[in-house]
Amino acid sequence: MRWTPGGLSSDVEDRRGQSGGGFGGSGLGIVGFLILLVISLVTGRNYIGAYFSGGGVAHQQQSAPRTVSPQEDRSAQLASFVLGDAQDTWTQILAKEGVRYPRARLVLFRDYTQSGCGAAQSSTGPFYCPADQKVYLDLGFWDQLKQFGASGEFAQAYVIAHEIGHHVQNVLGIERKVRGMQQQNPQARNQLSVAMELQADCFAGVWAHSTTDRQVTDQADIKAGLQAAAAVGDDRMQKMARGYVTPDSFTHGSSEQRVSWFNRGYTTGQVSACNTFSGGR
């Protein structure tokens, strides 16, 4: 990616220096999170929600300050750059449709913080909270992303652009409409969740299209983004966690689907190409 480090923008809320949160000891970790995910999928009970609502999460507690490495500092500045570039792009795109784009904020934290949607923890991975219109990110997730087989700056950019895609859904009223549909038809909850996530992937691709036009990225960067999309597919995650796959339990889409929809947004550069709710693949 072609970008110049330059500090953090006013859209970034840096909580990394605040007191951290604990999990009653060593922490849940990505492996523990995957185990809870598997148990929840198999039994149909939301053990993850129970864990985060109080069973396994300790309240915030004081922790010793940690120094910021040059690598983490660069990652934070990259996140700030991608956030700003993606939001500038969506401001222009939606303005053509007569829609005002309110800017989201990015919260950088370590281990644990509070969000408008409840507890935010490193083990949950990056997420967007529509209640406060903020993206929550522990930069330690980049190490986990590497373990999943995706590395490089644009792999990180894809993740942030995906979360901003959820903000775009919120701005357009899609998020609210889908949540209502899920409440009316609980049996379609997972199917609708997959459509939401794939559309966010497609929106990330729309932004990536603009970066190529502006020569911010090249084909090697896009390849890294596609690898990141494939790395976090439900089928791959389930295979890693339990050795087999149950498509009916997908909430984010398969690796193939995520790659396909990101690529569709990237090749067309059109929001209209991102209708994941029409039944198309």
- Is 105 inside a domain boundary? yes
- Is 109 inside a domain boundary? yes
- Is 103 inside a domain boundary? yes
pLDDT at res. 18: 78
* Residue 90 pLDDT exceeds 60: yes
Number of domains making up the chain: 1
> Which residues span the domain enclosing 254?
12-18+69-278
Token duo for residue 276: 């994941």
Stretch 150-166: mean pLDDT: 93
- Is 209 inside a domain boundary? yes
Q: Which of 49-53, 102-106, 140-144 is predicted with the least confidence, judged by mean pLDDT?
A: 49-53
Average pLDDT, the chain: 84
Residues 205, 208: Cα–Cα separation, whole Å:
5
Stretch 129-144: mean pLDDT: 94
Sign for the CA dihedral angle at 276, 228, 31, 27 comes to negative
- Is 190 inside a domain boundary? yes
pLDDT at res. 145: 85
Tens digits of per-residue pLDDT, 233-261? Answer: 877 777 777 887 888 778 888 889 999 99
- Is 201 inside a domain boundary? yes
More confident residue, 27 or 257: 257
pTM for the predicted model, two decimal places: 0.82
Stretch 109-137: mean pLDDT: 94
Residues 97, 75: Cα–Cα separation, whole Å:
33
Candidates 259, 202, 181; CA nearest to 225 is 259
